[in-house]
Every structure is written in structure tokens, then in C-alpha cells.
Amino acid sequence: MLTIIQIVAILQGLFLGVTLFQRRREYKKLIFWLFMGCIISVMLFAIGDDDYNLMVSDANWFLFHETLIATFFFLFIRFSNSDGKGFAPIDVIFLLPYLFHVIFQSLLTLGSPKIS
């Protein structure tokens, strides 16, 4: 049953992404791409969730994680409610938790012994 819900979520995300992409000129460029990033990260999380992976069982796809969804969503809300035109150098700080997670998981994956 969960697989069906994941597939429906992915299809809805694709439909929403295509619909928004066709009307992208109606939105501010930064707001549009942050929202598309949020939608794509949710779809990738639905595909590559570690516990309920659609493609490969017992996979560790640490690139598709909740912190990426939260970061895109936070930045989307932040820039939709502000008058700013673009990213300031300080806005990169919001991407650090995701980058730390990816680096940490990469180091753990490289350091773990291979079981054959």
C-alpha cells in the first residue's frame, strides 16, 4: 500500500512540476526555482527513502534527505515574504546542515567495510 502512495505522490509531483514550469513566467524567478527545488526534493525523497525505497531494497541513498526538503521550503517561504531580489552571501548558511549531512554520510559510507 505504501508503494502505491509513493507512486501517486511522484506522479502528482510530476504533474505539479510540469504545470508550474509551463507558467513559470508568472512567478519571480528565484521563488519559482526554490519551489521547484522543494517539489523535486520531495519526489526524490519518495523514490529514494532509505526505509521504503522504490528502486532498491536496503539502499542508503543519503542524498535524498528531509533536510534538503526543509531547506528549500524554508528558503521559499523566506524569499516569498521578503522584498529581496536574490541570494545574499549569508543565505548560503541555510544550506550548511544539508551539506554537513551529505559529507558526514559520505565519510561513513567510505569508512564502512564492504560485505560481499
Q: Could you tell me which of 65, 73, 69, 72 has the C-alpha nearest to residue 104?
A: 65
Per-residue pLDDT band at 109 (split at 50, 70, 90): confident
Q: What is the mean pLDDT of residues 26-55?
A: 80
Q: Does the reported pTM lie above 0.85?
A: no
- Phi, psi values for residue 79, rounded to 5°: -80, -20
Within 8 A by CB and 6+ apart from 53, the residues are 47, 59, 61
Per the rule left: phi > 0, alpha: psi between -120 and 50, beta: everything else, 58 is left
